[in-house]
Amino acid sequence: QITLKESGPTLVKPAQTLTLTCTFSGFSLSTSGVGVGWIRQPPGKALEWLGLIYWDDSKRYSPSLMSRLTITRDTSKNQVVLTMTNMDPVDTATYYCAHFLTGANYLDSWGQGTLVTVSS
């Protein structure tokens, strides 16, 4: 059974850096064809794809956020870390991580999400 869980601060100040950790079980990020994606959803709004890290440590980012985003992994801890710099109130959202399978390219298991509020 695949499970994922996001953790990190619930409140950050404008201009600060957000660091979120996705801790997962039930799969290995070293297995060919596997990835972990990050998606966010502002309150009452649509889902937004942020980025993806693959089994071979390659990464893809949303072009609109690429300058602010970094995704890294620690395969020994079964964790993926999202770092977003220069946070703004418009970045207030629920942040999700999800298990990704290449081939058909879909997100088949999601974490519960964590709400991050950006406010002074």
Partner 1 sequence: DTQMTQSPSSLSASVGDRVTITCRASQSISSYLNWYQQKPGTAPKLLIYAASSLQSGVPSRFSGSRSGTDFTLTISSLQPEDFASYYCQQSYSTPYTFGQGTKLEIK
- Contacts with partner 1, residue ranges (CB under 8 A): 37, 39, 46-49, 52, 60-64, 96, 98, 104-108, 110-113
Cβ partners under 8 Å of residue 120, min gap 6: 13, 14
CB 93 to partner 1: min, Å = 13
Four-point Cα dihedral 23, 90, 108, 6, nearest 10: 10
CB 55 to partner 1: min, Å = 16
Nearest CB to partner 1, comparing residues 16 and 60: 60
Longest Cα–Cα distance of the chain, Å, equals: 43
What angle (nearest 5°) sits at the alpha carbon of residue 118, between those of residues 115 and 120?
140
| Pair type for strands 93-101 and 114-118 | antiparallel
Length of the chain: 120
CB 62 to partner 1: min, Å = 4
Nearest CB to partner 1, comparing residues 15 and 108: 108
Query: Contact at 8 Å (CB) between 38 and 60?
Result: no
Nearest CB to partner 1, comparing residues 59 and 78: 59
Nearest CB to partner 1, comparing residues 28 and 112: 112
CB 49 to partner 1: min, Å = 5
